[in-house]
Amino acid sequence: MGKSVIELTGISKTYGKGDGAVRALTDVSMNVSEGDFVAILGASGSGKSTLMNIIGLMDAADSGEYFLDGVDIMKSRDSALTRMRGEKIGFIFQRYNLIPKYSVLYNTALPLLLSGMGFARAKKKASDTLERVGLSDKLRKKPAELSGGQAQRAAIARALVTDCPLLLADEPTGALDKKTGEDVLGFMRELNETAGKTILMITHDMHVSGFARTVVRIEDGRRVEA
């Protein structure tokens, strides 16, 4: 493994105030090294999604320390966090989050277009990435014309197209049957082993977590030993 990409120390998060306050995370610490494949395992309501949102810079911890690639996230401005999210993190969602009216090619190119890349270059890079995930024959298809496994591969392509070193996957097989899910997990493991991508995946399924190299268990907002 390489250097530490993610360093969390004493991360806590509470939603609401007073009698309605809900403690989502309490004193969670973890390190993720470059090139690791980590599963964050926990039941519904355990706090794993809150932890993923904080790691993905979509939410902020109330207390603790978070360094992403050496940058002190707790002391960074919102504009810097937005830039880092675009440059360093690719997101893979359970429900794919593909835009129905756009082709697979355009869905994949969209992050590049939003970052200001020209259309011709973005289209070429998106096409190359879709070929990498085995969808070179689906460029003109709309999301509704894809199988579940193909849609998730398109979502992975969209996450890969910006060359982000870190992939965050939120229950990536939750909408897939077991066989298709294992195919997608196998592909994610291949990305980790051959392309060196650092992957964090949240899941409630112990079988799914077995595809990762490292498992972090969360119960009632706390990290517990496996």
Q: Is 168 contained in some domain?
A: yes
Q: Is 31 contained in some domain?
A: no
Beta pairing partners, 28: 11
Q: CA–CA separation, 197 vs 174, rounded Å?
A: 21
Token pair recorded at residue 20: 């309605």
The one-letter code for the residue type at 34 is E
Enumerate residues 6+ apart whose C-beta is below 8 A from 221: 23, 24, 25, 26, 28, 46, 47, 50
SS3 at position 41: strand
User: How many DSSP H helices and E strands does the chain contain?
Assistant: 7, 10
SS3 at position 99: coil
The whole domain housing 206 covers 36-56+77-224
Q: For residue range 48-60, what is the model confidence (pLDDT) as tens digits? A: 999 999 999 999 9
Give the least confident one: 20-34, 161-175, 204-218: 161-175
pLDDT of residue 1 exceeding 70, the answer is no
Whole-number pLDDT of residue 95: 80
Q: Is 28 contained in some domain?
A: no
Is pTM beyond 0.75? Reply is yes
Q: For residue range 162-182, what is the model confidence (pLDDT) as tens digits? A: 888 899 999 988 888 888 889
CATH value at residue 189: 3.40.50.300
Please check whether residue 200 is in contact with residue 32, taking contact to mean a CB–CB distance below 8 angstroms: yes
Write the DSSP string, 9-56: EEEEEEES-GGG-EEEEEEEEEEEETT-EEEEE--TTSSHHHHHHHHT
End-to-end Cα, the chain, rounded Å: 21
Placement of tokens 């990435």 in the chain: 129
Burial 130-154 (b: 16+ CB within 10 A, else e): bebbebeebbebbbeebeebbbbbb
Enumerate residues 6+ apart whose C-beta is below 8 A from 87: 162, 164
Whole-number pLDDT of residue 226: 58
The one-letter code for the residue type at 132 is R
Beta pairing partners, 170: 202
Q: Is 10 contained in some domain?
A: no
* For range 14-34, the mean pLDDT: 93
Q: How many domains does the chain have?
A: 1
Q: Is 7 contained in some domain?
A: no
Mean pLDDT over the full length of the chain: 92
Please check whether residue 37 is in contact with residue 62, taking contact to mean a CB–CB distance below 8 angstroms: no
Q: Is 4 contained in some domain?
A: no
Q: Is 12 contained in some domain?
A: no
Q: Is 136 contained in some domain?
A: yes
Q: CA–CA separation, 202 vs 167, rounded Å?
A: 11
